[in-house]
Chain A
Amino acid sequence: MNAMTEQTLPTAPDIQPAAASGLGYFFYKVKKSPLTVAGLFIILFMLAMMLFAPWLATHDPNAIDLMYRLLPPSAEHWFGTDEVGRDIYSRIIFGSRQSISVGLFVVAVSGVIGALIGCFSGVVGGRTDRVIMRLMDVMLSVPSLVLTMALAAALGASLFNAMLAIAVVRIPYYVRLARGQALGIREMGYVKAARTFGASRWHIVSWHVIRNALPPLIVQATLDIGGTILMAAALGFIGLGAQQPTAEWGAMVATGRNYVLDQWWYSGFPGLAILITATGFNLFGDGIRDILDPKQKGK
């Protein structure tokens, strides 16, 4: 122990016993943070909703029945019906497949591509690194919402294009994160050792650097899923995302807007679904960030 640790000694978290590592400790910390647990439960609940949608839904989400349009919530239609008589509850259940998979897809795509570019850039260094990073800085300088919207509009309004647009705009964040990690790891003994043993650059990137840059990337990705779901919903809301008759939460809120003063449930429930889902991912992301990397709190 040095002088620094001694000063901070009287606060309990700083004096964890040596055994305080590993999975058991991780779960202990998770359990001590009720908000993280709440987030985890929301996520599991939503994933279950995606998987078991056909069993959970009470109606065919796309079945039009003009006899029963814009009905308030009732025993038959739990969340009411929309302007062509579709069951809003069932549409929300099936809509989870669109909205949540957008989040997962975007984060997976931008995370993997960004991480690869970032690790590559960090390991190769030199001029290649400078050019790549300059390019990323330029992309980051454009307000992300505007860039995403412009890109989605240019690609043409569809859910897939919206996902693509969001993913492209998110890439620079992962590039920066992964590069920073790669730079740090590159200087560590074991990577240098791998080099002296004749490991190729690519081998170094693919094995040591990516494996070690993974934890912070995963934290970032978890935090991003919530933001991505919101962004996709926003695009859906201004008509740049999913098109009718696809059940997508943002688009449902948008259509429901026309009826919002009298039929609040139409926009209300899909929006609530977005809110709960995004909250779940954000709570969980915050929690694991604090556990895995307490120094980064609040950044």
Chain B
Amino acid sequence: MTQNPVLSINDLSIEFPVYKGAVKALNGVSLHVNEGEIVGVVGESGSGKSVTSMMAMKLLPEGSYRVTQGDISILGTDIIHASEKTMRTLRGGDVAMIFQEPMTALNPTRKIGIQMTDVIRLHRRLDNDAARQLAISLLKDMHIADPESTLQRYPFELSGGMRQRVLIALAFSCNPRLIIADEPTTALDVTVQKQVLMLLKAKARELKTAILFITHDMAVVSQFCDRVYVMYAGSLVEAGSTRQVLHAPRHPYTRGLMAALPELATPGSQLQAIPGNVPDLSRLPAGCAFASRCPSRSDKCNQKPVLTSIHEATTHQVACWHPALQEELAV
């Protein structure tokens, strides 16, 4: 590949030690995000997608986890061995994060203005006034009608959509090269969700900021992402361009996800839930983690499949012994 990855994760495995064993949250995950690219990571709760995003910023509680193999690099910095000081300059500077819960992601007892200027001044040599001006223009970019008075408010005085715009403005405040967005719109109304996503995307394109977009929502991925990774039980099961993965899903799990989507279903056909449950991450099977729920499993599935290209001339990859044929799902 000729492009420069801003984020690359190689064969990463992480576990959380618990009573009598360990929760294997990530098992050999490899992914990368190129400059200016919007990349989605899709999966259910507990698939490891949030752990991936937290780990990329080294925000998991110290001592709660073990990295058993692999590495992460952001803009050439080795994250796993980076000092707290290095991480601090990265966080909010070159790499920003946007979180799921706009209701609680802002400090409830500090005014918006103070929270924004604090962060801006942490990374940029600006005086208070200049930081304020920057905050105002950032809020304007997010289509907030009255930025000056918004700065004077407390988070509880703003609606969820407004708060999320504030958080996005905050994320862009230091012209980051990468934004990690962990379910940024899940808590919002559908209409607000769409507006906020469009603002995020427009601003990212304008600044050539890459986004790692964590979500469980295939429909959002289809509107928003250039490429997508599908995650299941701490492993990647499918990867490729949004078009490839969404229009010709190969992994039975991805197909299951697609079939469960009302937005993408053919009118008249029945929505299908995937039978069974996500496996217990402390007792993962040796083979394919999806096997127990898979309609096309065989004895071969007792071995763990690796993510491989479906044929030589494509970036579309799948980790399955029995990938579906392309024409089976016509969307």
Chain A interfacial positions (CB closer than 8 Å to B):
1-3, 5-7, 9-13, 15-20, 25, 28-29
Contact = CB atoms under 8 A, between A and B. Distances in A.
B16 A15 contact: yes
Contact of A15 (B100, B281, B283): B281
Interface in B16-51: 16-21, 23, 25, 45-46, 50-51
Nearest to A18: B280
13 contacts: A3-B45, A6-B50, A7-B100, A9-B51, A10-B50, A11-B64, A12-B65, A15-B16, A17-B19, A17-B20, A17-B282, A25-B19, A28-B19
Interface in B41-71: 45-46, 50-51, 54, 59-61, 64-65
B101 interface: yes
Contacts of A10: 50-51, 54, 59-61, 64-65
A7 B183 CA distance: 10
Contacts of A1: 45-46, 278
A286 B217 CA distance: 43
Given A11-B64, A12-B65, A20 B54 contact: no
Interface residues of B, number: 27
B308 interface: no
Given A9-B46, A10-B54, A10-B61, A20 B18 contact: yes
B46 A12 contact: no
B195 interface: no
B309 interface: no
- B interface secondary structure, majority: loop
Interface in B271-311: 278, 280-283
A20 B21 CA distance: 11
Interface of B: 16-21, 23, 25, 45-46, 50-51, 54, 59-61, 64-65, 100-101, 186-187, 278, 280-283
A140 B13 CA distance: 55
Contacts of B45: 1-3, 5-6, 9
B233 to A, nearest CB: 13
B50 A9 contact: yes
A11 B60 CA distance: 7
Contacts of B59: 10
A215 to B, nearest CB: 20
A12 B282 CA distance: 12
Contacts of B18: 12-13, 15-17, 20
A64 B47 CA distance: 76
Contacts of A20: 18-19
B249 to A, nearest CB: 23
Contact of A17 (B23, B51, B100): B23
B258 to A, nearest CB: 21
A12 B18 CA distance: 7
Greatest chain A CB density within 10 A among B19, B187, B278 is at: B19
Nearest to B182: A7
Nearest to B44: A1
Nearest to A15: B23
Nearest to A17: B282
A17 B21 contact: yes
Contacts of A29: 19
A6 B216 CA distance: 11
Nearest to B46: A1
A117 to B, nearest CB: 38
Contacts of B187: 3
B283 to A, nearest CB: 7
Contacts of A18: 280
Given A1-B45, A6-B50, A17-B283, A12 B16 contact: yes
4 interchain residue pairs of minimum CB distance: A12-B64, A17-B282, A6-B45, A1-B45
Contacts of B25: 15
Nearest to B186: A3
A285 to B, nearest CB: 23
Contacts of A16: 18-19
A3 B217 CA distance: 13
A17 B186 contact: no
Nearest to B104: A7
Given A12-B17, A17-B20, A19-B19, 10 more contacts: A1-B45, A3-B100, A3-B187, A7-B50, A9-B45, A9-B46, A9-B50, A10-B54, A12-B61, A17-B19
Contacts of A9: 45-46, 50-51
A15 B23 CA distance: 7
Contacts of A5: 45
